[in-house]
Every structure is written in C-alpha cells, then in structure tokens.
Amino acid sequence: MGESVRILLVDDQRLVRHGFRLLLEATPGMVVVGEAGDGAEAISVSQQLEPDVVLMDVRMPGVDGITATQRITSDRPETRVLVLTTYDLDDYAFRALAAGASGFVLKDTRPADLIAAIRAIHSGDAVVSPRLTAKLIAVAAPHLGTRRPRDDDAALPELTGREHEIFLLVARGETNNEIAARLQLSESTVKAHIGRILSKMDLRNRVEAVIRAYELGVVGQ
C-alpha cells in the first residue's frame, strides 16, 4: 500500500468537521492532518501542512471557501481541493471550480462516494460524473471565465492523435481507469497524457478541459 492521502478539513461547523474526521480516519489509506474553521485559517494551515486534498466548505463567514481555494491552488497546485456543497447546482460550488477546485460533492453524499471522490481527486482523476456534465456546462460555463472559441485557436492542433483521443474521452466524463481500459493503456500512461494535454492547453484541471471541449465544439451538449 502506498502513502496515505493527507487531508485537511475546512468547515465553520465543528460538528461537521468531527463527523468527517471520524469517517476518514476509519478509512485505510487516509489521514486527517488538520482542520480549519474558515478560509483564512485554511490558507494558513494548508501552507504549514501541505495536504494532498482539502475538503472545502465554500459558505463560511469571513474569508469564504472560494477565496481560500484560489489561494491554496495558486500557492501549491499539487494540493487538490474538493468542494463541499449543500445543493447540486450551488453557484458557490461552480465559482470554486473557477477558482481552481478539482470537483465537488454534496454534504449529504454517501460515505463510500465521498471516499471515492477523495481518491479520484488525489489521483488527478475527475469527480464530475458523465450524467452531471451537461449540468456543469450549462450552469458553470458563465462563471469559469475560460476563453471563448476562436477560429485560430491553436490548442487542439498542438495535441497528438492519442492526446486528442484522450481529450475527447475526458470531456465525456470518463475516468482514467475507463480510458485506460478503452484504449488498452496503463492508467499511469493515461495520467501522463492528461498532464501533457492540460499543459499544452493551459488548463488547470479536468473540469476546465470539459468546458474547453464544449467551447471548441468538439463535444456536443
């Protein structure tokens, strides 16, 4: 077994943090390294502890989770932020995606789904499922501030044939494991391809890759 996923819990409600801590510390391969009660504390604690994943509430007094997400992902891009939201289409959640979060889950999600989401975020995989992709595009696109499509957009021509193929599968919501099985590649190879795709297209994460694919018209809504 590899090293444990190091998690920082951020929520202004102490009981909520306690509940998540009990769940995560009972899960093999996961360890809670710290807690924070607001965005300002989250930024400070994240700088000190350098967690792998931050479980981030966005609705908090003072410095909210959106601002904290932007600072944390800017200071240390390898730290993944998983947003906690109360509603499926919470505007705060989508603004957090624009700020650099890698995905979001509902606060009342099943424990097994939360664990799976944390593992997916940690591995660089997607959390937004295919069935939510259309909602994500319809609601999130106005908030994400990504570039509008241009006739001379050179991002796609820079991709190799294999990268273009994987880009389309990412845009359709497939996970690394699903892409690997479909293309008969190792999961590590898929992850390497996705890293190069994000770099070439100047994207921070897979969520932005989905948005860009729809902007460019390479995947229909």
- pLDDT at 98 exceeding the cut of 50: yes
The pLDDT assigned to 102 comes to: 84
- pLDDT at 177 exceeding the cut of 90: no
Amino acid identity of residue 85, one-letter, is: T
More confident residue, 141 or 161: 161
Section 163-182 average pLDDT:
86
The burial of 19, by beta-carbon neighbours within 10 Å (0-12 exposed, 13-18 middle, 19 or more buried), is given as middle
- pLDDT at 150 exceeding the cut of 50: no
H-helix segments, the chain: 14-25, 39-49, 65-75, 91-98, 111-122, 130-144, 161-171, 176-183, 187-200, 206-216
Question: At 9, is the pLDDT very low, low, confident or very high (cuts 50, 70, 90)?
Answer: very high
Give the range among 94-98, 105-109, 150-154, 168-172 with minimum mean pLDDT: 150-154
Structural element, H or E, at residue 184: none
The pLDDT assigned to 88 comes to: 61
Domain ranges of the chain: 5-122, 138-216
The number of angstroms, rounded, from the C-alpha of 52 to the middle of its chain's C-alpha atoms is 12
Pair 170, 212: CB distance under 8 Å: no
Architecture of domain 138-216: Orthogonal Bundle (1.10)
Pair 94, 58: CB distance under 8 Å: no
Pair 161, 151: CB distance under 8 Å: no
What CATH superfamily classification does 5-122 receive? Response regulator (3.40.50.2300)
